[in-house]
Structure 1
Amino acid sequence: MKHLAFILLLITILGCKQNSKSEFIALKSDKSSKRERTELDKNILKYVKYKSDVLALINATVFDGKGNPANENQTLIIVNGYFQAIVKKSEIDLPKGATIIDLKGKTIIPGIVGVHNHLHIPRFPFVGETASKLYLASGVTTIQTCGSASPQQEIELSKRIEQGKFIGPNIITSGPYFTGKGGNPNMIIPRNENHIKDTIQYWTERGVRWFKVYRHTTPSDLKIIINEAHKRNAKVTGHLCSITFEQATNLGIDGIEHGLNSTSDFRKNKTMGICDGSREYMDELTINSKEVKQLQQLMIDNNVFLTSTLAIYEASVPNRAFAEERTLKVMSSFLKSQYRERRNDFDTQKSNDNIREKRLKRIMEFEHQFFKMGGTLTAGVDAGRHVVPGFGDQRNFELLKEAGLTTEEAIKVMTSNGAQILSKPEIGTIEKGKKADFVIIKGDVTENIRNVELVFKDGYGFDPKLILEEMDGKFGDE
């Protein structure tokens, strides 16, 4: 079948219009046209609406993921799961035998690349199988788990998905969290330097390429973690508190999570190396001040990325902490009861927590400024409370726009920037030679990123409705 598809494409190449000859010559020599994609098991194919080796998408509005404005009336040719051409319809003849999909009135964006997308939530150390389905149905085609409560289960699920035996995004796995004395006892609390080295060696030999440090990690331990991880071609990110952004940057950390909410550089009465000090800085700090910009510039100069997790912070703001109907539908009875208890507490107290609302706005301002200064801003859902995998990623897009990013910029943050920090150049943008991981949105993505019609991964077109109809009450029911 794949050889037939390639022959059909070559026939089309030979008979194409003169004004697109150079485009087709490039196509013919593109090695990606000869690539073969993973075959999917029958239990996965039941969610797939389009599985043709040769696809032609016409009349599409396309955001390429690079921060550029949308291109309208585009035709996209996909062969064996890779983009072969993205041009105006008038510039190309459609391959004979291709499956044609008319996308008039619809928008294409790259598949979302989430880089703080756990496969666990509080009280549930592994929700990978349900989370994976929710991620993919929402347009998330690649995730980095940013700390794991069950690393071996993550690795096994990642392999099953890669082999076409389970449905979900491509999973970039993480090792167990590192923390320090006084931290979560379920995390790695290093006994000594060898304990750190042995832990990193063990998990990198099993394919893990990311480690996350948590709030109580000491500067001396962080230095060892970074050095050892880098020796083994792995990266380190952190939810910081005991360590300042400045310290972590100077020690060589690759990324920092949660933005202003985990910045301890400006805490009053802080003990260096200890997670303490007041959080008044969240209310008093001038975001566009010289000291804040200097810190952000230091991160930028050292190629330290910043991950936005706006959706989970919003879930703690009383006048914003409302679960939408689709979220309640997929949540287990236990998670719904927890949500109703929190919501009842907010309502009973008649709380209008302006402090948290203002802090959310300041977190947004911090991230917007970092991005505009040239920093690499990424995003992830950090699922918890009533923020569920996938749906929360979509909410992040809306909140990034509320923070002041344009549609093009928000898409870039959530796609190509994520691919960049994951060292995955084959994904994150829509361009010739890249993997056909993308999302089709009904209407204008600017207005409704939640209106996902199809999710393509490796050129297979998954139907979100078929996935979600099986998810009622499943999330948090493991």
Structure 2
Amino acid sequence: MFCRAITATLTAGLASLAVSAAGTAQPPESLSDSVMRHVRIDAPRLALTGLQLIDGSGAPARQDQTILIEDGRILAVGDRGGVTIPDGFDVVALDGRTAMPGIVGLHNHLHHPGVPVSHFAAPHLYLAGGVTTLFSAGSAAPMAELNMAGAVARGLGPGPDMRIAAPYVTGPEGNWVMPRPATPQAARDFVDYWASAGVAGFKLYRHVTPPIAAAIIDQAHTHGLTVTGHLCSLTFSEAAEMGIDRIEHGLISMSDLVEDKPAGECVSTLSSLTEADIDGPAVSAVIDTLVAHDVTLTSTLAIIESHFAHRPQGEPRALEMLSPVERAAYDARQTALAERRDTTRFTPALFDSILAFERRFAEAGGRLVAGPDNGRHIVAGYGDQRNLELLVEAGFSVPETVQIMTHNGAVELGLGEDRGLVQAGYRADLLILNGDLTADPAAIRTLEYVIRDGLAYDPASLAETVRGEVGLR
């Protein structure tokens, strides 16, 4: 079983933690039964024909496309009449389907509240939802996550290519289970240790103090690693000037507009955001600062939506994945949410401003990426799909949204020449949807195949394996 294989790898020690950034495709014979039970097409040479293609570049969709895949890489892409299918290729006719790159998630946790590492449900569900590469954006059990990523890379279980973050870093008033380096030197030592363990980046959390944040950012950069942040004590502008690489959650975590905000202290932002003019000079100044300092913004609209009573809540297929305890917690939250429907905090106007802020940031030249921040009833994979729908609601075209969720994420992870586009030479990570995504963003829910490294997985099989397991393992 995959979970026992993961447990075994946890004893391997730091020497086994490194995961190859190249992501070289593995032949089916090297993959375990736990993987192959979900694979529907494992032909080494594959021709997909008749597709509508949204290639991840932001360009308009192209019709009647043929995609050739050989040994886990895209060999050729083009019009049906312009691509010759060589002998020895298995041909799969996919008329009426849409192809797009696999999702590259930038805020895709491998834990669930109360479960420090979701070693079984998360990898299955991310792949079932179309996520083929992810960054965990803060770890609750980094050693376990590093070993889990290594186990998937060796073919012991199904899942995306997983890039693991170090533990969250917070301050004296922050979450007690998170590291709180007492001095800048302790912060630098923390970075050195986790960099040597093989993490892909670091995350600052709400109460981190400015000196510690600055030390983490500076030291991470000496290792060629990035730093993101769920900010509160720091304003977006302060973090940008420190050199932070990425900021999570967008407008909802922005404290720049709080009047007389105490320096270095985490305070509520909701009142300032409810009253904010999203098109006004104060917000424009923040956006300009982020763009000038080349700060990427991670959209997490799926989890943000869950706080708003007027918005759709748990979809049935996601609720079916929750354990009985998690489902009961969802029901209790929905009762509480209904009771505060008339709140003056989480208003329809604020949600509209959150959407508009992300659109304005991108229009100003900022790089937008996405991830669901799974928790509550936002489960791995399905939350990523909901993000796509919400970004389209925010005003992005479907091709722009696909670019945000695929190639932008790959570029942010330093993988822009390897994945995130459906082009010749790129890794064969792509999704086949049984519908027209350009006509209906909800077609993202109709995944027929998730192709990772050239192998076509069955999303329904992956999801069924972990039904009722979210919040357990």
TM-score by length of 1: 0.90
Inter-partner Cα distance in structure 2 for 1:276 and 1:315: 21
Provide the C-alpha distance between the structure 2 equivalents of 1:237 and 1:254, rounded to a whole number of angstroms: 6
Deviation sequence 1:222-258 (CA, Å, 0-9, x none): 1110111010111100011111111110110000001
1:115 to 102, 106, 115: 106
Deviation larger for 133-142 or 263-272:
263-272
Which residues of 2 match residues 257-276 of structure 1 at below 5 A? 257-276=248-267
In the TM superposition, what is the alpha-carbon distance from 1:380 to its structure 2 partner?
0.4
Specify which of 451, 463, 466 is matched with residue 468 of structure 1. Answer: 463
Q: Does 1:94 align with 2:89?
A: no
Aligned counterpart, 2:431:
439
Cα deviation, residue 354, structure 1: 6.2
Match of 1:370 among 361, 381, 384: 361
> Which residue identity lines up with residue 471 of structure 1 in the other structure?
V
Shift in CA distance, 278/148, structure 1 to aligned 2, threshold 3 Å: closer
- Residue number in structure 1 paired with 2:225: 234
Q: For 1:449 and 1:353, how far apart are their aligned partners in 2?
A: 32
Alpha-carbon offset, residue 209 of structure 1: 2.0
Q: Distance in 2 between matches of 1:420 and 1:406?
A: 20
Q: 2:165 aligns with which of 170, 174, 194?
A: 174
Is 1:452 aligned to residue 443 of structure 2? no
Contact 1:141 1:168 in 2 (8 A): yes
Indicate whether 1:136 and 2:136 are aligned. Answer: no
- Give the partner amino acid of 2:232: C
Judged with a 3 Å threshold, the aligned counterparts in structure 2 of structure 1 residues 36 and 463 are, in CA distance, closer, same or farther, namely closer
Report if the CA contact (8 A) 2:166-2:194 is conserved: yes
Name the residue aligned to 1:293. 284
CA-atom RMSD, angstroms? 1.4
SS at match of 1:142: strand
Measured in 2, the distance between the counterparts of 1:102 and 1:441 equals 13
Shift of 1:278: 5.2
Conserved 8 A contact 2:309-2:340: no
Residue correspondence of structure 1 range 283-322 to structure 2 within 5 A: 283-320=274-311, 322=313
Return the letter of the residue paired with 1:444: D
Unaligned residue ranges in structure 2 (runs of 5+): 1-23
Q: Distance in 2 between matches of 1:119 and 1:319?
A: 29
User: Which portions of structure 1, spanning 4 or more consecutive aligned residues, are displaced by more than 3 angstroms?
Assistant: 35-39, 352-355
Contact 1:268 1:279 in 2 (8 A): no
Cα distance in 1 for partners of 2:81, 2:48 equals: 13
Q: Which of 44, 50, 66 is equivalent to 2:57?
A: 66
Deviation at 1:36, TM superposition (A): 5.9
The 2-side partners of 1:271 and 1:193 are apart by: 21
Which string of whole-angstrom CA distances, capped at 9 and with x for unpartnered residues, describes residues 16-75 of structure 1?
xxxxxxxxxxxxxxxxxxx86453223211110111110001111100101110011111
Distance in 1 of aligned mates of 2:130 and 2:241:
36
Residue correspondences, number: 443
Question: Which residue in the other structure is 2:240 paired with?
Answer: 249
Q: Which has the larger radius of gyration?
A: 1
Amino acid corresponding to residue 241 of structure 1 in structure 2: C
C-alpha spacing 1:172/1:428, structure 2 compared with 1 (3 Å): same
Gap runs ≥5 in structure 1: 1-34
Cα distance in structure 1, aligned partners of 2:343 and 2:302: 17
Rounded to whole Å, the distance in 2 between the matches of 1:277 and 1:388 is: 27
Distance in 1, matches of 2:280 and 2:271, equals 16
C-alpha distance in structure 2 between counterparts of 1:121 and 1:352, whole Å: 29
Aligned pairs for 1:44-63 (under 5 A) are: 44-63=35-54
The correspondence for 1:428, drawn from 415, 420, 423, is 420
Q: Pairwise mapping of residues 199-214 of structure 1 onto structure 2 (< 5 A)? A: 199-214=190-205
Identity in percent: 38
Residue 406 of structure 1 aligns to which amino acid in structure 2? S
Q: Cα 1:346–1:302, aligned 2, differ >3 Å: closer, same or farther?
A: closer
Aligned to 1:9: none
Alpha-carbon offset, residue 299 of structure 1: 1.2
CA contact (8 A) 1:116 1:307 kept: yes
* CA drift at 1:120: 1.2
- Name the SS of the counterpart of 1:128 in structure 2: coil
CA deviation after TM superposition for structure 1 residue 302, in Å: 1.6
Q: Does 1:40 align with 2:35?
A: no
SS at match of 1:469: helix
Counterpart code for 1:450: R
Q: 2:120, 2:351 → 1: CA distance?
A: 31
Determine if the alignment matches structure 1 residue 280 to structure 2 residue 275: no
Equivalent residue for 2:94, pick from 89, 97, 103: 103
Would you say the 8 A contact 1:254–1:303 is kept in 2? yes
For the residue of structure 2 that corresponds to 1:456, the secondary structure is strand
The question of whether the paired residues in 1 share the 8 Å contact of 2:25 and 2:453 is answered with no
Distance 1:422 1:114 in 2: 10
Structure 2 distance, partners of 1:256, 1:350, is: 29
| CA distance 1:186–1:234, change in 2 (3 Å) | same
CA distance in 1, matches of 2:343, 2:85: 57
Deviations 1:334-364 (A, max 9, x none): 10000111112234x2724464132211111
CA 1:67–1:278 in 2, change beyond 3 Å: closer, same or farther? closer
The 1:224–1:77 alpha-carbon spacing in structure 2 relative to 1, beyond 3 Å, is same
Q: Which residue of 2 aligns with 1:477?
A: 472
Q: Matches of 2:130 and 2:397 in 1, distance apart?
A: 19
The alpha-carbon deviation at position 303 of structure 1 amounts to 1.2
* Matched residue SS, 1:179: coil
Q: Secondary structure at the match of 1:132?
A: helix
Counterpart Cα distance in 1 of 2:61 and 2:431: 14
3-state SS, counterpart of residue 465 of structure 2: coil
Q: Write the distance in 2 (CA, Å) between the matches of 1:353 and 1:67.
A: 38
Q: 1:70 to 1:205 in 2, by over 3 A?
A: same
In 2, the alpha carbon distance for the partners of 1:322 and 1:232 equals 41
**2: distance between equivalents of 1:144 and 1:36?**
19
* 8 A contact 2:123–2:160 mirrored in 1: yes
- Distance in 2 (CA, whole Å) between partners of 1:43 and 1:171 is 18
Report the TM-score, using the length of structure 2 for normalisation.
0.91
Counterpart Cα distance in 2 of 1:316 and 1:279: 12
Match of 1:78 in 2: 69
CA distance, structure 2, for counterparts of residue 278 and residue 477 of structure 1 = 33
Residues 1:206 and 1:269: Cα distance change in structure 2 (over 3 Å): same
2:369 counterpart SS class: strand
Offset, 1:166: 1.2
